[in-house]
């Protein structure tokens, strides 16, 4: 069962599925309802749940750690977009320009590696992150 903390109170919410097969979360005490209806949101949710999997966060750490993880995941997504854009431009210009783009691509990939290890540190270290 996929779980996410409520963004207001931190309580663990069980994922529910609506009649269209889309995921949503309800926090009874807060009355918050979070519906995820678009493909991008569902992908982001799955990514986040994968990252949080097996990680039992101390109650008070939930929101803080969650936002950190979200920020890193968002940055990784942005970099992947940049890489895709660079790939689309490769071979369209002079060889020097291609070289520049390949170099830029390497730097972006290195940044992703750094972010992934940062993500591991955030998700799996003790509460003191």
In angstroms, the CA 77 to CA 96 distance is 27
If one asks whether residue 27 binds Zn ion (CB under 5 A), the answer comes out as yes
Q: Any contact of residue 79 with Zn ion (CB under 5 A)?
A: no
- What's the full length of the chain, in residues? 129
Min separation Cβ 27 and Zn ion, Å: 3
Choice from 4, 6, 57, 69 touching Zn ion (CB under 5 A):
6
Alpha helices in 90-126 (DSSP H): 95-124
- Please state, in angstroms and as integers, the Cα–Cα distance from residue 103 to each residue in 80, 107, 108, 116, following that order: 15, 6, 9, 20
57 is an interface residue for Zn ion by CB under 5 A: no
Q: Based on the shown chain and the rule CB under 5 A, indicate whether residue 73 belongs to the binding site for Zn ion.
A: no
How far is it, in rounded angstroms, from Cα 43 to Cα 63?
Answer: 20
Contact 105, 86 (CB under 8 A): yes
**Backbone dihedral angles phi then psi of residue 119, each to the nearest 5 degrees:** -60, -45
Q: Which is nearer to Zn ion, 11 or 68 (CB)?
A: 11
CB of 79 to Zn ion, least distance (A): 32
Task: Check residue 9 for interaction with Zn ion (CB under 5 A).
Answer: yes
Binding of residue 26 to Zn ion (CB under 5 A): no
Q: Applying CB under 5 A, does 30 fall inside the site for Zn ion?
A: yes
Residue ranges in contact with Zn ion by CB under 5 A = 6, 8-9, 11, 27, 30
């Amino acid at each position: 069962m996929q779980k996410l903390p409520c963004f207001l109170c931190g309580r663990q919410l069980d994922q529910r599925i609506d009649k269209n097969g889309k995921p949503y979360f309800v926090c009874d005490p807060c009355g918050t309802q979070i519906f995820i209806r678009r493909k991008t949101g569902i992908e982001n949710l799955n990514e986040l749940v994968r990252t949080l999997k097996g990680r039992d966060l101390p109650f008070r750490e939930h929101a803080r750690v969650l936002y950190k993880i979200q920020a890193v995941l968002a940055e990784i997504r942005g970099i992947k977009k940049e890489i895709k854009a660079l790939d689309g431009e490769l071979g369209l210009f002079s060889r020097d320009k291609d070289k520049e783009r390949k170099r830029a691509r390497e730097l972006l990939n290195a940044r992703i590696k750094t972010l992934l290890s940062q993500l591991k540190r955030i998700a799996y270290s003790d509460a003191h992150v």
